[in-house]
């Protein structure tokens, strides 16, 4: 009887070991910079681990260049232009750095409305081939408009026609950007009323740092992904609740003191300041305008109590942020 027990134990141990080894060998790490890809869907989700059961940590928009770091079965570990890493389950077309440079030399368009459609023919009554969202980058196949439509394509070759009123060419976009508080406010308000979505960075749903990141992206500025990283950018404006020093477009940060070091804070939330103590942020209610003034109807007591500091990105983009127009992944 004891021999049978030992045999069963050995068989079980071997099967577990084989399963673990099989799992381990499914992970393939690639040499740094060997493989690249360009997002070819309007949006792809990034997870902390190679599983849909793990936390959704971010999303990447169409046209975003990504460095491919590893593969685990049908999952790919990628790095985005701001250095953020996660796992995607979307089909990726591997390209070389040289091919990425070739794509970067092509004319591009950016979607400037919350959502739009690409049609099979240059008319809105034609079959819809794709939906696109604000911040999507598309490749321009013909600079001449056809009935007020541009012929465009994704990096994977799919394409069609998009209304010219919903996009700007790369050069038009760059020239039109006004990195001012009024412009930041105008773009931020386009998201008001949209749903909150953990890990979201698009007009389909945003989390707090996804909202600030996407608003600034539409101004050519690439912010870090998370609030605690965005907290490290810009120039400190106020940390004493003196809101009179704040300007439209400043980033507000909220959190609580680090119990291990009370001179430091654990930043857990962010938003964009407007004026008169009003600010836009993404919380459980969606994208809303809240107030830090107890006299206002939209007073946000919860965030008022955990307010930490305001940082200014406008006129100081070099402090921890990147310009999409200077970033080599988009331009070289």
pLDDT of residue 320: 83
pLDDT of residue 16: 41
Q: Would you tell me the crossing angle of helices 208-217 and 181-189 to the nearest 10 degrees?
A: 120
Give the C-alpha separation, 114 to 180, whole Å: 21
Q: Which CATH class is domain 181-323?
A: alpha beta
pLDDT of residue 25: 64
Domain boundaries, the chain: 26-95, 106-169, 181-323
Q: pTM (2 decimals)? A: 0.90
Burial of 31 per CB tally in 10 Å (0-12, 13-18, 19+): exposed
Radius of gyration of the chain (CA): 23
- C-alpha distances (whole Å) from 124 to each of 3, 52, 140, 148 are 76, 36, 19, 11
SS3 sequence, the chain?
CHHHHHHHHHHHHHHHHHHHHHHHHCEEECCCCCEEEECCCCEEEEECCCCCCCCEEEEEECCCEEEEEEEECCEEEEECCCCCEEEECCCCCCECHHHHHHHHCCCEEEECCCEEEEECCCCCCCCEEEEEECCCEEEEEEEEEECCEEEEECCCCCEEEEEHHHEEEHHHHHHHCCCCHHHHHHHHHCCCCCCECCCCEECCEECHHHHHHHHHHCCCEECCCCHHHHCCCCEEEECCCCHHHCCCCCEEEEEEEECCEEEEEEEEEEEEECCCCEEEEEECCEEEEEECCCCCCCECHHHHHCEEEEEECCCCCCCCCEECCCCHHHHC
Phi-psi region of 218 (alpha: psi -120 to 50; beta: other; left: phi over 0): alpha
Q: Which fold has domain 26-95?
A: SH3 type barrels. (2.30.30)
Q: For residue 236, how far is the Cα from the chain centroid?
A: 24
Q: Which fold has domain 106-169?
A: SH3 type barrels. (2.30.30)
What tens digit of pLDDT does each residue of 148-175 get?
A: 999 999 999 999 999 999 999 999 999 9
What tens digit of pLDDT does each residue of 177-222 get?
A: 999 999 999 999 999 999 999 999 999 999 999 999 999 999 999 9
Give the C-alpha separation, 221 to 314, whole Å: 10
Domains 106-169 and 181-323 agree in fold: no
pLDDT of residue 317: 58
How confident is the prediction along the chain (332 residues), in pLDDT tens digits per residue? 445 544 444 444 444 443 444 445 699 999 999 999 999 999 999 999 999 999 999 999 999 999 999 999 999 999 999 999 999 998 899 999 999 999 999 999 999 999 999 999 999 999 999 999 999 999 999 999 999 999 999 999 999 999 999 999 999 999 999 999 999 999 999 999 999 999 999 999 999 999 999 999 999 999 999 999 999 999 999 877 779 899 999 999 999 877 777 667 899 999 999 999 999 999 999 999 999 999 999 999 999 999 999 999 998 756 789 999 999 999 99
CB 199 within 8 A of CB 55: yes
pLDDT of residue 20: 42
């Amino acid at each position: 009887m004891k021999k049978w027990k030992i045999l069963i134990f050995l068989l079980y141990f071997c099967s577990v070991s084989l399963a673990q080894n099989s799992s381990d060998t499914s992970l393939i790490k690639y040499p740094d910079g060997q493989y690249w890809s360009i997002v070819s869907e309007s949006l792809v989700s990034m997870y902390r681990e190679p599983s849909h059961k793990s936390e959704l940590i971010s999303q990447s928009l169409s046209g975003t260049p990504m460095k491919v770091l590893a593969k685990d079965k049908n999952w790919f570990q990628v790095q985005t232009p701001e250095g953020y890493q996660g796992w995607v389950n979307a089909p990726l077309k591997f390209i070389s750095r040289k091919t990425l440079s070739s794509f970067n030399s092509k004319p591009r368009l950016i979607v400037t409305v919350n959502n739009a459609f690409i049609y099979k023919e240059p008319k809105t009554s034609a079959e819809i081939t794709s939906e696109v969202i604000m911040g999507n980058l598309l490749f321009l196949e013909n600079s001449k408009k056809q009935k007020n439509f541009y012929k465009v394509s994704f990096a994977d070759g799919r394409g069609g026609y998009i209304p010219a009123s919903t996009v700007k060419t790369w050069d038009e976009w760059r020239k039109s950007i006004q990195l001012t508080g009024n412009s930041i406010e105008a773009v931020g308000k386009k998201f008001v009323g949209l749903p909150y979505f953990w890990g979201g960075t698009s007009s389909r749903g945003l989390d707090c740092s996804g909202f600030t990141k996407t608003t600034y992206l539409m101004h050519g500025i690439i912010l870090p992904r998370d609030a605690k990283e965005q907290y490290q950018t810009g120039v400190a404006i106020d940390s004493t609740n003196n809101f009179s020093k704040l300007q439209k477009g400043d980033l507000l940060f909220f959190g609580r003191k680090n119990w291990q070091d009370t001179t430091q804070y654990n930043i857990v939330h962010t938003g964009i300041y407007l004026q008169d103590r009003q600010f836009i942020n993404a919380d459980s209610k969606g994208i809303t305008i809240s107030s830090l003034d107890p006299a206002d109807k939209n007073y946000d007591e919860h965030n008022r109590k955990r307010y930490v500091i305001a940082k200014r990105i406008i006129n100081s983009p070099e402090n921890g942020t990147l310009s999409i127009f200077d970033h080599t992944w988009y331009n070289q």
